[in-house]
Amino acid sequence: MTFDPFGDFATEGYLRNYEKEKDLAILKRAENASFMTGLDGAFAHLAKFKVLTYSDVLTTHGILFGAIYPWAGQDRSQTAAKLTIKKGAVIFANAPEIRAAVEYALRKGQDKAYMKARPGEIMGFLAYGHPFLDGNGRTIMTVHSVLAQRAGFSIDWSATKKDAYLDALTKEIENPSKSHLDVYLKPFVRGPIAYEQLAISIVHAPGLDGSVQDAELNEVLGAIEEPMVKAQYEAMLVKRKKT
């Protein structure tokens, strides 16, 4: 099933990309090329600020994917404000809650001691926020790598396994702050690396090569106010609060 939150895939291609491309294999390769080309610029932007803000996350996405999507750098409050988005079994924050989730991650992630102790929790809140229609994984990993570097450590993403990481991330999103992802990442924590090496670290992370697998695509669960959608979303919030 094609992810089509705008409802115009037939005329505008996947997510209204500039080329109106409908072939996801082609588009994902173009996304990856844009990401690889933009990484240095994204890190240069983030290096300018002692304190990272939500605006910097938006700008990072714009730098990484501005060559592909006209909406790059805009969060779902602008692009899909009335839709609930999911991926597999995971339901992400609705538009009104995105910023709060990401800002919580940034606030805790810029407490160096907290970031070093709970890098998985920080990643989980960034992932739950899921600010963008596409490119979330690469954007939040870029930001997360900067937070880790500033806290005095790094994560050897090349040594992680895609399926195991995604399984731990799913558990972290569904049951936050229970160390699901912290435990998974612990064996891959390394000493700090130079800022100039962060891009190399990220590009070797499994799952960021632009390959297409239907199970990895976002889905529209439905309109936020639809009773069944609202019930599923509220059940997810209750579960997150109880755990």
In the predicted model, is pLDDT for residue 242 greater than 90? no
Give me the pLDDT at residue 70, please: 98
User: Which of 77, 44, 62 has the alpha carbon at shortest distance from 198?
Assistant: 44
CA 32 – CA 208 distance, rounded (Å): 8
DSSP string, 126-192: HHHH--SSS-HHHHHHHHHHHHHHHTT-EE-GGGS-HHHHHHHHHHHHHSTTSSHHHHHHGGGEE--
Q: What is the pTM of this model?
A: 0.95
- 75-242 in CATH: which number? 1.10.3290.10
In the predicted model, is pLDDT for residue 203 greater than 90? no
Give me the pLDDT at residue 213, please: 55
What average pLDDT score do residues 203-225 get? Answer: 79
Give me the pLDDT at residue 56, please: 98
CA 19 – CA 42 distance, rounded (Å): 23
Model confidence at 214, in pLDDT bands (50, 70, 90)? very low
In the predicted model, is pLDDT for residue 23 greater than 80? yes
In the predicted model, is pLDDT for residue 215 greater than 50? no
Q: What mean pLDDT is reported for the chain?
A: 94
DSSP string, 68-128: T-TTTT--HHHHSTTEEEEETTEEPPPHHHHHHHHHHHHHHHTSHHHHHH-HHHHHHHHHH
Give me the pLDDT at residue 209, please: 66
In the predicted model, is pLDDT for residue 82 greater than 60? yes
Whether the CA torsion 3, 19, 37, 56 is positive or negative: it is: negative
In the predicted model, is pLDDT for residue 1 greater than 90? no
Percent of the chain with pLDDT over 90: 88
In the predicted model, is pLDDT for residue 181 greater than 90? yes
In the predicted model, is pLDDT for residue 99 greater than 80? yes
In the predicted model, is pLDDT for residue 3 greater than 90? yes
Give ∠ CA 77-83-86 in degrees, rounded to 5. Answer: 105
CA 178 – CA 144 distance, rounded (Å): 19
Per-residue pLDDT of 158-170, as tens digits, reads 999 999 999 999 9
CA 151 – CA 189 distance, rounded (Å): 12
What average pLDDT score do residues 24-43 get? Answer: 95
Give me the pLDDT at residue 195, please: 86
More reliable by pLDDT, 231 or 1: 231
Per-residue pLDDT of 119-134, as tens digits, reads 999 999 999 999 999 9
